[in-house]
A and B are shown apart, each in its own frame.
Chain A
Amino acid sequence: MRMRSGDIEGAIEEFDKAIAHLPTFADAVVARAELLDSQGKWEFACGEYERARRLWAEMPAGAPDRRYLFRHRGHLAFEIEAYHLVRSNVRNKILPQLAHGNALFSRGRPKEALDSYERALLLKPDLPDVLALKGEALSAMGRYQEAIEAFDKVLASVPTDAETLNARGIALMALGKQAQANADWRRQLELLPTGQSAARACVAMRQANYEVAFKEFGLALAKEPANAYWQLYRMTADRLIGASLDPITLPARRHWPFSLLALPTGQVTEQAVLAQADTPNRRAEALFQLGVLALAGNPTAARGYWSEIAERGAPMLIEYAAARNELARLGS
């Protein structure tokens, strides 16, 4: 607000406070950099612009088989505020509501996002693109049945909407409707162009279709050789189809998911991996890998790891779907 009112010094002060409180707050870092730049402090600002970009890039992005929305990175504080302003000034239009809702959703506020999507739907009820987002918000809030109903409507009008097939698959799997979930993902895989190897690989992995996943992750790695997750998943698929394992090249940077890659080499222990899994999603990723390693020698242990994912993991995770499919194969 201070920035908009022309109080540059005051705005810088506020941004300083925000960054001190949350050093990874890239939105504030770049906004402050622009202010400093406008004051002639370009050389200092340059480093700050770069820092913001780096922070954004380091934020985890959602799986590429999911809706575009899940690949947004950042706190999106500026977007929430900016689109709020737009929707006050450009009334009764869909985009401002939608963009506002998306920013809130990406910020982890699906309930408020749902409100924005509902407002957009008041303008054009049953607009498939908005209905799909409403479904995503409902799904994120755990209201899977309602989400499925929204996705059903979307798919009734656009049966080839691959992103919505993915979303409905996740909601179905969360409700334990495994066969239907897999059917949606199979259809999504058919629809995805061959060039979208990462998306194809991820949706194949959800289905525990490791032959396809292995091949597609290989293609995805060729495009993004530094993507540690593609390396990890390719290695996982490789192990689960029983193919001869490639030697593992561990990435230079030792942050997550480094320890998951290092796990099969024996360089890290189960305890260390679980200790480093400092979020529920990372724990689910770790448990899945532990299950994969245990499977050949100790299927009961594998079942144990995967059961925990099925009981406590987030349904949107690739590991959640793959674990549930594995458990079905193990007969549990």
Chain B
Amino acid sequence: MFSVILYGRNDSHGYNLHKRAAISFNALAEVMSDSDDEILFVDYNTPDDHPTFPEAIHDTLTDKAKKVMRILRVRPDQHAHLRSKTHLVALEAQSRNVALRRSNPRNRWILYTNTDMLLVPRDDRQSLSDILGELEDGFYEVPRFEIPEMLWEAAFDRRDPAGNLAKLRDWAGRFHLNQVVHNYMPMKYDALGDFQAALREDMFAIHGFDESMILGWHCDSNLAARLALYRGRVDTLIDKVFGYHCDHTRVAAANNKGRATRMNDQDQYIWNVASPYVPAQAETWGWPDIEIEELQLDRDTAYQRFTAGLTSTITPATAPFVTTSLEWQLYEDLTYDLPHTLPFVCDQVVTFPRSTAVMVVATRPDFLHGFAKAWQAMGFTGSVLVPEECDGLPSGLEGVERGPFADLLPRADIFIFEFGLSTQLPTEPVRAGRPMAPIDRQRLKVIERLLKRVAATEAGTRPPARRTPRRIIGVNVIYNKFWMLFTDNISANINPFCSQVLAGLVREDNSIKGKVLRFRGRYGL
């Protein structure tokens, strides 16, 4: 019957976002009763190494919310062409159009709202699907009522949407929540973007949201202006539904700087609108030709993929714990526990697109063997690229491609540099003061040289269509002799030794030292 369209990203937009969003997702799912209903959440521009926002809070969502939610993930690289044009990191018009294009064509209605809204049918025997199912064609809005922060934060149980809706029915009268704030036509109400129900067919006819609105604000008013022109009227659904907003003004959101807030021009996008249509984007709105990843919370989750990957390559520990040490005298000892380390390596990559090609520059054969197996079991379809310059690694592994480093470099989407000892045996104790063998030294030199080359040439060697910098993961680079090398070249956080892994983008160092390092790296000096 209807597709709810929401957008956001895995960040901290305003006060207690996680609770607001969980309350909202669950409440929206609660009022759905048609098998075609769906919540389309466009996760816009969350960093590749993060899960999407709904994945990050999935444990707070009801089974029903997980079932009806489709997550459309717009990657940073897909946003990169707009980055220089806006101060915002998530774009409303693009997000909503990406969802509209991919919405269930069987649904007659599209409902635009936000991740802090609860919609309460006034007749508690009716679902929103029932309401929209009986509704005549049109463009409908409802007024937004505010819920004080204390109420939703203190009294709502994220996983009890029915209870939350019942509380709202009670509070509405008790706390005088229901104040209708009228607005000029065509907006009709204040905060109109929290409930705009339009026919899917109408949204396609008017070419979706106006994607030139990239500075934030007024996308809802622009839509109202255009749909009001198209339909002639803006109708109310106040007799059927009340819309409640979890007020979040304790902390201003990133796009709210008071009177200094940058926003889309009101005159251009509201008061001087002259047509329902946006012909300039008639063929391109919603990015019809771009493949957008779709994720679900009730199947094939990142956790399931992660565990599948690890289960394929490591067996459960037989001892209650293993030991290592970060003591200074062990600075030169590069032994590490592979079964312990692989989960942290996989954790770094599992959220990347499945088509990702990863370059693995490694010394330990068992690392490559284990990682390549996990990679495939995690469902990645991209290749594991291993430079021929890395000696002593197994050949013929499934999904692994060998080739000259220079050839593989422009094909890689991410890099893993592993600084281990090729001579380490699985049974050896870890960090017990083991000296490096000459062959280890020789192979590590190759890894070091290739890391420097990546650091020096990354920007100029990206795959042709790629616009964003590539992430570099260092394995066994904490509190040992390669720590400095890695962090001189890669802008990584300080991670606990136990995680064994550092990751980041190539350090942008425009000092003389940085320039020298890049020059030396480029020419292998």
Question: Known contacts A56-B136, A98-B274; is A68 also within 8 Å of B230 by CB?
Answer: yes
Residues B70-117 near A (CB distance < 8 A):
none
- B291 on the A face (CB < 8 A): no
A73-B232, A74-B232, A79-B232 are contacts. A99–B271 as well, Cβ < 8 Å?
no
Residue B225 interfacial (CB < 8 Å): yes
**Binary interface profile of A, 18-35, with partner B (CB < 8 Å = 1, else 0)?**
000000000000100110
Q: Is the interface of A mostly helix, strand, loop or mixed?
A: helix
Residue among A37, A74, A79, A94 making CB contact with B185, cutoff 8 Å = A79
User: Does the CB pair A95–B271 fall under 8 Å?
Assistant: yes
B461 within 8 A of A: no
Fill in one digit per residue for A86-107: 1 if any B CB lies within 8 Å of its CB, else 0: 1001100111101100110010
- In the bound complex, CA of A130 to CA of B272 (Å): 11
Is the pair A37, B233 in contact by a Cβ cutoff of 8 Å? no
A residues near B238, Cβ cutoff 8 Å: 34, 37
Q: Is the CB of B136 within 8 A of A53?
A: yes
Q: Which of A78, A82, A94 contacts B273 (CB 8 A)?
A: A94
- Asked if residues B232 and A90 are in contact (CB atoms below 8 Å), the reply is no
Interface membership of chain B positions 414-446, coded 1 if the CB is closer than 8 angstroms to chain A and 0 otherwise: 000000000000000000000000000000000
Q: How far is the CA of A30 from the CA of B231 in the complex (A)?
A: 17
Give the residues in chain A near B136, CB-CB below 8 Å.
Answer: 53-54, 56-57
Contacts of B267 in A (CB 8 A): 93
**Set B137, B184, B236: member contacting A89, Cβ < 8 A:** B184
A184 to chain B, nearest CB (A): 18
Whether B272 contacts A74 by the Cβ 8 Å rule is no
CA–CA, A270 and B232, complex, Å: 37
Q: Which residue from chain B places its CB closest to the CB of A55 in the assembled complex?
A: B136
Shortest CB distance B332–A (Å): 69
Interface contact B228-A53, CB-CB below 8 Å: no
By a CB distance below 8 angstroms, the chain A residues around B275 are: 129
- Residues from chain B with Cβ under 8 Å of A103 in the complex: 232
Q: How far is the CA of A71 from the CA of B231 in the complex (A)?
A: 7
Let me know if A49 and B239 touch, CB within 8 A.
Answer: yes
Complex Cα distance, B205 from A47, in Å, reads 31
Would you give the 0/1 interface string for B158-189, flagging 1 where the beta carbon is closer than 8 Å to chain A?
00000000000000000000001000111000
Q: Is the pair B229, A68 in contact by a Cβ cutoff of 8 Å?
A: yes
Does any Cβ of A come within 8 Å of B467's Cβ? no
Q: Are A95 and B232 in contact (CB under 8 A)?
A: no
Check A42 for interface membership: any CB of B closer than 8 A. yes
The answer to whether A239 has its CB under 8 Å from any CB of chain B is no
B396-429 vs A, Cβ < 8 Å mask (1 yes, 0 no): 0000000000000000000000000000000000
Q: How far is the CA of A130 from the CA of B232 in the complex (A)?
A: 16
B276 within 8 Å of A by Cβ?
A: yes
Q: Report the tally of A-B residue pairs with Cβ distances under 8 A.
A: 88
List chain B residues, Cβ under 8 A from A129.
274-275
Whether A90 contacts B135 by the Cβ 8 Å rule is: no
A90 to B267 alpha-carbon distance, docked (Å): 10
Q: Please name all residues of chain A whose beta carbon is closer than 8 Å to the beta carbon of B185 when the two chains form the complex.
A: 79, 82-83, 86, 99
Please, what's the 1-or-0 string for A150-163, where 1 marks a CB less than 8 Å from any CB in chain B?
00000000101000
Residue-by-residue, is B190-234 near A (CB-CB < 8 Å gives 1, otherwise 0)? 000000000000001100000000000000000001001111110
Taking the closest CB of chain B, its distance from the CB of A77, in whole angstroms, is 11
Residues B232 and A102 in contact, CB atoms below 8 Å apart:
yes
In the bound complex, do residue B230 and residue A99 qualify as a contact, i.e. CB atoms below 8 Å apart? no
- B270 an interface residue at 8 Å Cβ cutoff? yes
Which one of A33, A72, A86, A98 contacts B233 once the chains associate, using CB atoms below 8 Å?
A72
In the assembled complex, the Cα of A94 lies from the Cα of B275 at a distance in Å of 10
Residues of A with C-beta under 8 A to B340: none
A42, A99, A124, A127: the one within 8 Å of B228 (CB): A99
Q: Is the CB of B137 within 8 A of A57?
A: yes
Q: In the complex, are the beta carbons of A102 and B274 less than 8 A apart?
A: no
Q: Which residue of B122, B233, B272, B279 contacts A94 across the interface (Cβ within 8 Å)?
A: B272
Check A99–B239 contact: CB distance below 8 A: no
Report the minimum CB–CB distance from B105 to chain A (whole Å). 10
Q: How far is the CA of A59 from the CA of B50 in the complex (A)?
A: 52
A126 to chain B, nearest CB (A): 12
- In the complex, A214 Cα to B279 Cα: how many Å? 29
Instruction: Say whether A208 faces chain B, with CB atoms less than 8 Å apart.
Output: no
User: In the bound complex, how far is the Cα of B138 from the Cα of A127, in angstroms?
Assistant: 28
The answer, yes or no, to whether A122 is at the interface (CB within 8 Å) is no
Q: Is the CB of B273 within 8 A of A95?
A: yes
Asked if A76 and B232 sit within 8 Å, CB to CB, the answer is yes
**A127 vs B272: C-alpha distance when bound (angstroms):** 11
**Chain A min CB distance to B202 (Å):** 10
CB of A51 to closest CB in B, whole Å: 11
- Whether A98 and B229, one on each chain, are in contact in the complex, defined by CB atoms closer than 8 angstroms, is yes
Shortest Cβ distance from B275 into A: residue:
A129
Q: Which of chain B's residues have a CB closer than 8 A to the CB of A37? A: 238-239
Q: Which residue of A lies closest to B228 (CB)?
A: A99
Question: Out of A38, A71, A74, A93, which one reaches B271, CB within 8 Å?
Answer: A93
Q: Is A248 an interface residue (CB 8 A)?
A: no
Is there a chain B Cβ closer than 8 Å to A173's Cβ? no
User: Any chain B CB within 8 A of the CB of A179?
Assistant: no
Check B135 against A53 for contact (C-beta < 8 Å): yes
The 6 sampled A-B contact pairs (Cβ below 8 Å) are A46-B239, A79-B232, A79-B233, A90-B271, A93-B267, A96-B271
The 6 closest A-B pairs by CB, nearest first: A72-B232, A93-B271, A129-B274, A82-B185, A49-B239, A129-B275
A residues lining the B interface (CB < 8 Å): 30, 33-34, 37-38, 42, 45-46, 49, 53-54, 56-57, 68-69, 71-74, 76, 78-79, 82-83, 85-86, 89-90, 93-96, 98-99, 102-103, 106, 120, 124, 127, 129-130, 158, 160, 195-196
Known: A30-B235, A73-B232. 5 other contacts (CB 8 A): A45-B239, A53-B138, A79-B232, A99-B186, A106-B232
Interface of B with A (CB < 8 Å)? 122, 135-138, 180, 184-186, 204-205, 225, 228-233, 235-236, 238-239, 267, 270-276, 279
